Amino acid sequence: MLKLSVADIISRITAEETFEAVSDDYSFTIKISDYVHYACGAVHDGSQFRESLWDNCMHSAYDRWYEEDPATKQMVQSHPIVIAGCDSRFEYDLNRAPENAIYEDAWGKRLWHQPLSVKERDLSLSKHANFYKVVYALISKLEQMHGHCVVYDMHSYNWRRWDRHVPTWNLGTANIDNVRFGNMVEAWIKSLSEMRLPNGIDSDAKENDTFQGNGYFLKFITQNFKNTLVLATEVKKIYCDELKHIMFPEVVAAIEKELKYRLPAHAASFIKAFPKH
């Protein structure tokens, strides 16, 4: 893996070079082993939280972990194109627009003892902006090469805060073109529902049951690229004990194994339905 500036990363994408890199400020990683017609994103995978914020933060490391999406990068790491955040969403949230990316409070609890300085806010927002410069360059290149592309926007969610049954997989589709891409949505839901998971875990999948796909990552791509479908794919946190802070690596590995063939199969059907003219 290389350490590259944002300018270097974009230059390599423009030149269609394959590479794996971390940004020079360690805020995100990107891997491109082949310029295929699909990409995976894990914007909430990260848990880094810079030292200058530690004493001012009212949330514990566990509080932050509880709301992050650990292991979502690992679930898709075997695919040719993966971009993932390294920093905690409590520093800045890549799935929110810049004006809302820095929390004042989080899930009903004030986040900072004292308001952040302009310097601290600007540093966080510069990381947010750099990430989206790379996203824009990447999707521009994929659309240029293939005409259409599909992005699998991976997330997880805490199921114990719900007082009803919630699905293992939720697909948020409120902000995509469902008339145009509806068949692809249905196919992805069907594939997710057929997963075989360990420990007796069911793999039911529903559309807009718990979340509707209102994240900025999806909206940014959808608003800037008319031929790219973003599938906001949320897995219920059946791969950890969210209350005891314990990961279940066998479940993470099983999800990765299932996605290793389900995801490319779905992407192949997508490009067959939307070939380059």
Q: Per the domain annotation, does 48 fall within a domain?
A: yes
pLDDT tens for 158-215 read 998 889 999 999 999 999 999 999 999 999 999 999 999 999 999 999 999 999 999 9
Residues 259-267 have a mean pLDDT of 98
Query: Contact, 108 vs 145, CB < 8 A?
Result: no
Q: Per the domain annotation, does 269 fall within a domain?
A: no
Q: Check pLDDT > 80 for residue 277.
A: no
Cα gap 43→85, rounded to integer Å: 5
Tokens 């009903």 correspond to what residue? Answer: 108
Q: Check pLDDT > 90 for residue 108.
A: no
| 145: containing domain | 2-263
Dihedral sign of CA atoms 273, 274, 276, 277 in order: positive
Residues 35-50 have a mean pLDDT of 98
Q: Per the domain annotation, does 164 fall within a domain?
A: yes
Q: Per the domain annotation, does 177 fall within a domain?
A: yes
The DSSP 8-state label assigned to residue 272 in this structure reads: H
* CB contact set of 270 (below 8 Å; sequence gap of 6+): 37, 38, 148, 150, 184, 229
Q: What is the CATH number of the domain that holds 116?
A: 3.40.630.40
Q: Check pLDDT > 90 for residue 106.
A: no
Q: Per the domain annotation, does 274 fall within a domain?
A: no
Q: Check pLDDT > 90 for residue 276.
A: no
Residue type at position 253: A
Q: Check pLDDT > 80 for residue 138.
A: yes
Q: SS3 string of 93-145?
A: CCCCCHHHCCCCEECCEECECCCCCHHHHHHHHHHHHHHHHHHHHHHHHHHHH
Q: Which of 156, 149, 125, 114 is nearest to 39 (CA)?
A: 149
Tokens representing 248 are 């279940």
pLDDT tens for 64-105 read 999 999 999 999 999 999 999 999 999 999 999 999 999 998
Mean per-residue pLDDT over the chain, rounded: 96
pLDDT tens for 209-258 read 999 999 999 999 999 999 999 999 999 999 999 999 999 999 999 999 99
* Residue-level pLDDT at 112: 96
* Residue-level pLDDT at 105: 87
Total domains in the chain come to 1
* Residue-level pLDDT at 151: 98
Length of the chain: 277
Residues 155-160 have a mean pLDDT of 95
